[in-house]
Amino acid sequence: MIDDLEIETHPFEPFLPSNAKLLMMGSFPPPKNRWKMEFYYPNYQNDMWRIFGICFFQDKNYFLDLPNKNFQLELIQNFLKDTGIALFDTAYRISRLKGNASDKFLHIHTPTDLNRLLQQMPLCQYIMTTGDKATDTLMESMPEGTPKPVIGQSSQAIFAGRELHLYRMPSSSRAYPLAVEKKAELYCGLFKDVGLL
């Protein structure tokens, strides 16, 4: 059955500022018909950029283009570069079992080569996953016995000779039943831990 499904390769280049301390990893972008921009978390219904607005500017609309129900892509990218936050996803090639954006129905053919990403970010020691699927996929790359992080706490791993701090954050999808302000509290705690806030 899975063999009959279309295989998608990740549509975005990894966003890897050379000064990045934190690598943020979701599972995989939604289908293109849900995009408002060609960048991570492109669905206008996804709250990731509202969470960032709350944490860093106390304004959930800071990164939004409200009249056009869109995002301010340049503002987002410049902020991430200045702050030292990198983005990619834990899956590189996937099939959608139900044709939608749900992690539950995502079959991962090829996980991301984490070592290759980290080689381009010498300062990065923190990895944050956004959701269960992303966390489970990341853990497959970690050394055996690495504790899986739970929300609100970090775990440590030595990966490719580098000490990493792993954080598991709630999904920014509205399907995850938690108010955006509550999600933002958890994300703000992480950004403080990492030294970005």
Position 2 scores a pLDDT of: 55
Phi-psi bin for 4: left (phi > 0), alpha (psi -120 to 50), beta?
alpha
Domain residues for 177? 2-194
Position 107 scores a pLDDT of: 85
**pLDDT per residue as tens digits for the range 107-157:** 889 999 999 999 999 999 999 999 888 999 999 999 999 999 998 789 999
Tell me how many domains the chain contains.
1
Query: What 3-state DSSP class applies to 154?
Result: strand
For residues 25 and 126, the answer to whether their CB atoms sit within 8 Å is: no
CA-CA distance, 141 to 159, in Å (whole number)? 9
CATH of the domain at 82: 3.40.470.10
For residues 129 and 90, the answer to whether their CB atoms sit within 8 Å is: yes
Q: Which residues contact 119 (CB under 8 A, 6 or more apart)?
A: none
Spans of the chain, pLDDT less than 50: none
Query: What 3-state DSSP class applies to 182?
Result: helix
- DSSP conformational letter for 21: S
CB atoms within 10 A of CB 30: 19
State the DSSP string of 38-51.
Answer: SSSS--TT--HHHH
The pairing of strands 91-96 and 85-89 is: unpaired
Position 4 scores a pLDDT of: 67
Beta-bridge partner residues of 96: 106
